[in-house]
Amino acid sequence: MQAKAIIRLSHSPPANPQPKEPPKIRKAAAAWRGTGRDGDGDLTTASGVLSQTPYSFRTRFESEPGTNPEELIAAAHAGCFTMALAFALQQAGYTPTELATGAAISLDPDGAGFRITRSALTLTADVPGLDKANFDQLAATAEKTCPVSRVLNAEITLAATLK
């Protein structure tokens, strides 16, 4: 019979341990009725911002008014990046007058389906006292660290203009 050794490692807790925040869970739901091309559905978010908001093949791939998943990803990416940059600017001692970001999501054919291949962020920022070199560095870091950038498996570009 072989003896088994159990080794337990312990680490001293930090002097002032910070309580771990639970993950933020955000929820949404989709309902679909009918076939892919001829059916339609609706999207609802737990916050109520979207409440049975219609979407369909026509709103996604044609010009019919309405939303689609890629438009919502674009909004999420623009919002996430802009907020990440606002926090980075605050931490660096700057208060922006305005940060305006657009996001363009590219949905390209991929085999039998489609794939999001790119998110192009376009930023115009008015930040008193901030020089171009620091602006470019803070914007690039915000683009790489925003949670939506990190979840997208696509090329992300950033065109940033400081007023």
Q: What is the CATH number of the domain that holds 80?
A: 3.30.300.20
| Pair 75, 57 in one domain | no
| Pair 63, 78 in one domain | no
User: Beta strand pairing status for 113-126 and 155-162?
Assistant: parallel
The whole-number pLDDT of residue 35 equals 97
The whole-number pLDDT of residue 17 equals 61
| Pair 117, 131 in one domain | yes
Q: With 70 as the cut, is the pLDDT of residue 25 above it?
A: yes
Total of domains in the chain = 2
User: Percent of the chain, pLDDT > 90?
Assistant: 82
- pLDDT (tens digit per residue) in 96-143: 999 999 999 999 999 999 999 999 999 999 999 999 999 999 999 999
| Pair 158, 105 in one domain | yes
Structural domain of 85 = 68-163
| Pair 63, 114 in one domain | no
| Pair 114, 143 in one domain | yes
| Pair 91, 156 in one domain | yes
- pLDDT (tens digit per residue) in 33-53: 999 999 999 999 999 999 999
Q: Is residue 74 part of a domain?
A: yes
pLDDT-derived band at 14, boundaries 50, 70, 90: low
| Pair 79, 139 in one domain | yes
Q: With 50 as the cut, is the pLDDT of residue 5 above it?
A: no
Query: 128 CB contacts (<8 Å, ≥6 apart)?
Result: 94, 95, 97
Q: With 90 as the cut, is the pLDDT of residue 21 above it?
A: no
Per-residue buried b or exposed e for 68-100, using 16+ beta carbons within 10 Å of the residue's own CB = bebebbbebbbebbbebbbebbeeeebebeebe
| Pair 72, 50 in one domain | no
| H or E, element range at 141 | helix 132-145
| Pair 82, 162 in one domain | yes
Q: Is residue 1 part of a domain?
A: no
| Strands laid side by side in the 53-56 sheet | 28-33, 40-45, 53-56
Report the predicted TM-score, pTM, of the whole model to 2 decimal places: 0.83
pLDDT-derived band at 79, boundaries 50, 70, 90: very high
